[in-house]
Structure formats: structure tokens, C-alpha cells
Homo-oligomer: A and B are copies of this chain.
Amino acid sequence: MDMTSQLTAAAERLFDRHGYMATGMDRLTEAAGMSSRTLYKHAGSKAALMARVLTERHRRFMARIDVRTIDALFAALEDWVRVEGSRGCLFLRSRAETGGDTPEIAEAVALHKEAFHRRVSEVVAMDRGREDLALAEQVLVLVEGATHAAVYRGADAVSAARAAAAVLLERARA
């Protein structure tokens, strides 16, 4: 693994577990196993590193929810939570931590949430047989809710969201 992805992976782990602001560069260099000089050559700055982490996470998450049905969407979310744990949405968290004042971060978050909303709408449209923006908004709320409720309610939150989505889909079809 090259140094850049090694750094990005270590940074994602630390930022996710301890927060962006609470993670110092010394902990980053130690976890990434490289000198601060090398770190800055690859990352540019702490904010740029966070932006890179978000972009990378975006790719990984979107690949995971490349599905065709609403139920598969929640199954994918269950997998994600099992593998990555649940500490809330890293995109919303990083924006909140910086108050939206860090352009590189705010932009990465905006791009992700737009793409996420689009993907949910597509999945709902495929499953429902036609475009249904109202149902899509409900499913988006359920995914977001499962993500954040899982922080303190555990995996039950995701299965509850999954069951709720099934009811809403059935009702929309009737």
C-alpha cells in the first residue's frame, strides 16, 4: 500500500473515532507511520486530508449502496454498520465540527449528500416502478435515522428502519 492511501486510511480511522478537531497531527503521523514532513507532502494540510478522507469514504460508501431495491439498500446499511461501526455520519459530523467554515470540507460534504440523495431516489424509483419523490424522501430519512439511532440503539435501529421502509413501499404500491 502506498503512503497516500496508508495515510488516508489511518486518518479516516482517527477522525471517525475521536473527531476531526480532537485529532492532532502527531497522532496522525504516528498512526500513519510516517514523518510529518512526508505527511504534509502527501496531504497538504489537515483540512485537505479530511477532505481526502471524505472523498475516499464517499467512493466506498456509494459502491456499497449500488443496489436495485429498497430492502437491499438497508441490507447494505446493515453490512456497513457491522463492518465500520456506528459513530454517526462522518460527513455531517465533519461539517458540524468546522461550522461549515472550511470550504474543502463543506464542498466534499455537499457533493456526497447530493449524490446520496440522488442514489436513494434512483433505488426507490426502480423498486417502486416509477419515480416517487415523496417515498424517496421518507427512505432517505429512514437511512439517516438508522445511521444516527444506531449510535446508541445499535443494529436494532437499522432493522427497524428496514421493516418500516418495507411497510411504506407496500403502502405506496397499493
Q: Which residues of A are in contact with B by a Cβ distance under 8 Å?
A: 17-19, 21-22, 87-89, 92-93, 95-99, 101, 110, 113, 117, 134, 137-138, 140-149, 151-153, 156-157, 160-161, 163-164, 167-168, 171
Interchain residue pairs with CB less than 8 A apart (30): A18-B99, A19-B96, A21-B21, A87-B96, A88-B92, A88-B93, A88-B96, A93-B93, A93-B97, A95-B151, A113-B152, A117-B152, A134-B160, A137-B153, A137-B157, A137-B160, A138-B161, A140-B149, A141-B145, A141-B160, A141-B161, A142-B142, A144-B144, A144-B148, A144-B149, A144-B157, A145-B145, A145-B161, A167-B168, A171-B171
